[in-house]
Chain A
Amino acid sequence: MFIKQISVFIENKPGRLAEVTKYLADAGINILAISMADTTDFGILRLIVEDPGKTDVTLKAHSLAVKTTDVIAVAMENRPGSLAGILAELSNHEIGIEYMYAFTTRNTDHDSMVILRLNNQEDAVKKLENSQKIRMLTSEMVGQIRG
């Protein structure tokens, strides 16, 4: 049960992130979640957007290096201990995390979620499918348009 994430290669220079998000704004693309992995020289901008297909086309039209990757979204309650509980469950299954970021939503079904990229993700997801403690969300539930 994967959702689509858009990753973009961005050079680490002032104003660049503003420009890239402006491309999305001009194309009417709504960002659901965003995270940035950065080094001295470059960063990887990771986005969960309503329309991943359109985002990919838009950014590529601006000559950016773009990659669509699968990640999982796990529903969380907005209260102390909920993230710790999810991570403990991953740990019980000996699943490693490559990276993660979390955000709150206004969804009636769940009020927060965490985006995870896992080691050996295919196998990891199979293990988690039967878990009582982890509820993975579909792209529709996250708010993505089916691509």
Chain B
Amino acid sequence: MDNNFWNPSVERMSRDELHAVQTRRLKETVERVYSNVPYYRDKMQRKGILPGDIKTLEDLESLPFTTKQDLRETYPFDMFAAPMESIIRIHASSGTTGKQTVTGYTRRDIDMWAECMARCLTMAGATRASKIQVGYGYGLFTGGLGAHYGAELIGAAVIPASAGNTMRQITMMKDFGTNFLCCTPSYALYLGEALGEAGFTKDDLQIVGGIFGAEPWSENMRKEIEDILGLRAYDIYGLSEVMGPAVSQECCRQDKLHVWEDFFIPEIIDPVTCEVLPGKTQGELVFTTIYKEGFPLIRYRTRDISSLCYDECGCGRTHARMTKPDGRSDDMLIIRGVNVFPSQVESVLLEEGNVSPHYRIIVDRKNNLDAMTVEIEMSENIFSDHVKGIEATESNIRKKIESVLGISCGVRLVEPKTIARSEGKAKRVIDNRKI
């Protein structure tokens, strides 16, 4: 057992105690959404459920699921369960069709998030003496501020580097003696390579730990990052709808991610039948937040494929562990940590009118950074006899897609009828990344 506990009494709480906390908080949350969110109330009434029917954790199964579609229908604030006077922060992530998914946090929510992040950072070995460089983007994206508040809570020295500006990141890592790095795993690898190109090695750094998330990564990538930066790399998981980073993270064993079950109840369901699956079976991960005030979620379908393990962990924590998400039950892509749905690209093309709706998305990883290109079929309407005209069309479409997705991409016009048509669902995505 290690001593890296931020909140040992909670992190090592017995399962019985944990269940008692969960039961109490689940009831409070159901009560809260029923009273404050008409959308939830309607859904529960349609199923004939009253808050009083939720008495035990087993009753969770009777509650309706919440999906990304629900969040779209309630855009922007109709899912908020606290009045705007109590909301102190709003974050947003990309939705399925261009509309963002908006989440609100009360002061207690922000404190809870910082608590989760503090547990994660401490679990990875960070202390108040550490210098923590946050290389996640700051802004509407939850990565930057999420990591930041947790790092401040433990009393570490936060370096709010935000994403990008690689040479400056390396200079700070070196000159400031950064001990912990938080960023996406692909960016960590990119930093490692840039370090070498700048003529330095891991011996020039004092980094001991890295907390990497917001996109899927493999054991091979972990080894590469650990070798190149000379640190121990931990996988952190979260999604903005549920909170942001720090819903779960690996402990020193680097074997599955501990879910902070006093705040989130995880379930695994069959994505087709929606039936709850028994322990260790792989399926779609579902979360119910049981302590959030601003934006509680009841049985939110994450679309991430994972499984849950309730075995005792050698680290001493009692909280369940989820396996690294292994794919999606929908067509969402994660590109440079940002959620991208093919339907968002489609909505831009349809809005454009005279652009062909036949497109495909090609994702590559070049120098450890994701690169996305949208190929669109040339049509009579937009074909210009001039190179400049065609390039202007490409650039115009590119800017529109970029503004909807919030990440940069390339647009390439291809010859008509060269993108394969298929009977059912078109193959819209070609992901060449070897993760």
Where the two chains meet, the residues of A that have a C-beta atom closer than 8 Å to any C-beta of B are 5, 7, 9-11, 37, 39, 41-42, 44, 46, 63-67, 69, 98-99, 117
Q: Are B415 and A98 in contact (CB under 8 A)?
A: no
CB distance from A118 to the nearest CB of B (A): 13
B406 to chain A, nearest CB (A): 25
In the complex, A64→B415 CA distance in Å? 6
Chain A residues near B386 (CB-CB < 8 A) = 44, 98-99
- Among A44, A64, A65, chain B packs the most CB atoms within 10 A around the CB of A65
Q: Contact partner of A63 among B384, B387, B413, B415, CB < 8 A?
A: B415
Query: In chain B, residues 394-417, which have Cβ atoms closer than 8 Å to a Cβ of chain A?
Result: 412-417
Q: In the complex, A42→B387 CA distance in Å?
A: 9
Q: Mark B330-343, 1 if CB is under 8 A from A, else 0.
A: 00000000000000
Q: Give 16 A-B contacts (CB < 8 Å), ordered by A residue.
A: A7-B385, A9-B383, A9-B415, A11-B415, A37-B387, A39-B387, A41-B412, A44-B386, A44-B390, A46-B385, A63-B416, A63-B417, A64-B416, A65-B379, A65-B380, A99-B386
Partner of B414, one of A11, A46, A66: A11
Q: A42-B390, A42-B414, A63-B417 are in contact. List 16 more A-B contacts (CB 8 A).
A: A7-B383, A7-B385, A9-B378, A9-B390, A9-B413, A9-B415, A39-B387, A39-B391, A41-B413, A46-B385, A63-B415, A63-B416, A65-B378, A67-B385, A98-B386, A99-B386
Overall SS of chain B's interface: loop
Please determine whether A44 and B385 come into contact, CB atoms closer than 8 angstroms. yes
B interface residues, Cβ below 8 angstroms from A: 378-380, 383-387, 390-391, 412-418
Which of B383, B385, B417 has the most C-beta atoms of chain A within 10 angstroms of its own C-beta? B385
CA distance A76 to B379 in the complex (A): 36
- Bound together, the chains give a CA A24 to CA B69 distance in angstroms of 51
- Across the interface, which residues of B come within 8 angstroms of A42, CB to CB? 390, 412-414
A52 and B413 CA atoms in complex are apart in Å by 25
**Interface of chain A: mostly helix, strand, loop or mixed:** strand
Which residues does chain A contribute within 8 Å of B412, judged by CB atoms?
41-42
How far apart are the CA atoms of A98 and B387 in the complex, in Å?
10
The chain A residue sitting closest to B386, CB to CB, is: A98
Q: Which residues of B contact A5 (CB under 8 A)?
A: 385
Q: Measured between C-beta atoms, what is the minimum distance from B415 to chain A in Å? A: 5
Give the chain A neighbours of B413 by CB distance below 8 A. 9, 41-42
Min C-beta distance of B337 to chain A, whole Å: 27
Residues of A contacting B387 in the complex (Cβ-Cβ under 8 angstroms):
37, 39, 44
CA distance A98 to B378 in the complex (A): 22
Minimum CB–CB distance for B293 against chain A, Å: 51
Looking at A9, A63, A98, the one whose CB has the most chain B CB atoms below 10 A away is A9
